[in-house]
């Protein structure tokens, strides 16, 4: 099959959103997008549409797409999708080669991506392209329902600027999805901070998607500054759901070994799916390793 690769910048956001949705119709987690959501995604995650691409055949029939985010010395491959009737014909591989060639041309030090753990074909493709796993993360969801009364705690609602300051100095590793840069780009960032009478302290950052058709909270980042992690985590989530009792909530990329994970389950969160973050070193690192062998 002839595979032509065209910069995604040659297409409208509406066209890209439609194509993306077509490639995900049979996914376990489709995550559909309309044009507004894709435009937001491009902004929040620094997607470079001139270095992202759409694949077509010799007749101009669209086959799939892939996107590349770029931040300084780092890149992020995302939204790779191929139409169901043309899979296993090298299209995904060609799309990946395009993204990695552009990342290498920029001289990035490392390129990241995320793959749903159950997506074995995609995982195998990424391994073949030089990626290795860096960690597994949970994507949790909580449907709207009443939360128990919050225990005694002093709670401050934080403006976005103060929330960003906390994220910028957060010592724990944050993936591209929840990274400081992604939250800084978002227009709906909020936060809160609590202090318990026993000295426990912590904060939570989140996105308040109040302007969408169905209000929701997403991209939760919790950090325990002092005290018992499970207790402080519980208080943060209790206060959050007391403030927004009618919101669907999505917590993305929570580490499986987080000490506050039990608080999510205690408040009715369930595991939607899990992801594997993967990393590919930049071409300079690859060359250095090859020379050492």
Residues 265-274 have pLDDT tens digits of 999 999 999 9
The pLDDT value recorded for residue 290 is: 53
Q: What is the CATH number of domain 146-267?
A: 3.40.630
**For 2-27, how does the pLDDT look when each residue is reduced to its tens digit (9 = 90+)?**
999 999 999 999 999 999 999 998 87
Q: Do the domains spanning 4-135 and 146-267 agree at the CATH topology level?
A: yes
**For 185-207, how does the pLDDT look when each residue is reduced to its tens digit (9 = 90+)?**
999 999 999 999 999 999 999 99
Helices (H), the chain: 13-23, 35-44, 91-106, 120-128, 160-168, 180-185, 229-243, 261-266, 283-292
Rounded to 5°, the CA angle 210-33-41 comes to: 70
Q: What is the CATH number of domain 4-135?
A: 3.40.630.30
| Residue 140 structure tokens | 């949790």
The values of phi and psi at residue 32, to 5°, are -65, 155
Tell me the pLDDT band of 212, cut-offs 50, 70 and 90.
Answer: low
Rounded to 5°, the CA angle 214-220-223 comes to: 160
The full set of domain ranges for the chain reads 4-135, 146-267
| Residue 264 structure tokens | 């999510």
pTM recorded for the entire structure: 0.92
| Residue 58 structure tokens | 């010799």
């Amino acid at each position: 099959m002839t595979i032509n690769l065209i910069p995604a910048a040659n297409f409208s956001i509406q066209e890209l959103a439609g194509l993306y949705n077509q490639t995900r119709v049979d996914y376990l987690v489709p995550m559909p997008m309309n044009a507004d959501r894709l435009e937001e995604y491009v902004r929040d995650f620094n997607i470079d549409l001139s270095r992202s691409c759409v694949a077509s055949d010799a007749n101009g029939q669209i086959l799939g797409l892939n996107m590349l985010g770029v931040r300084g010395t780092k890149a992020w491959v995302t939204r790779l999708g191929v139409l169901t009737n043309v899979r296993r014909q090298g299209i995904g591989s060609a799309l990946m080669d395009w993204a990695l060639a552009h990342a290498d041309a920029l001289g990035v030090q490392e390129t990241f991506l995320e793959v749903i753990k159950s997506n074995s074909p995609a995982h195998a493709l990424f391994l073949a392209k030089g990626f290795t796993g860096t960690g597994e993360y949970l994507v949790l969801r909580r449907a709207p329902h009443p939360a128990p009364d919050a225990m005694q705690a002093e709670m401050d609602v934080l403006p976005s600027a103060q929330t960003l300051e906390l994220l910028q100095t957060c010592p724990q590793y944050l993936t591209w999805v929840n990274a400081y840069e992604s939250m800084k780009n978002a227009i709906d960032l909020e936060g809160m901070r609590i202090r318990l009478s026993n000295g426990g302290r912590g904060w939570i950052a989140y996105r308040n998607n109040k302007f969408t058709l169905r209000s929701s909270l997403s991209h939760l980042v919790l950090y325990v500054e002092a005290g018992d992690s499970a207790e402080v985590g519980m208080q943060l989530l209790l206060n959050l759901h007391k403030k927004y009792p009618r919101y669907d909530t999505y917590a993305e990329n929570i580490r499986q070994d987080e000490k506050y994970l039990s608080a999510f389950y205690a408040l009715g969160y369930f595991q939607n799916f899990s992801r594997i973050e993967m990393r590919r070193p930049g071409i300079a690192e690859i060359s250095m390793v090859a020379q050492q062998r």
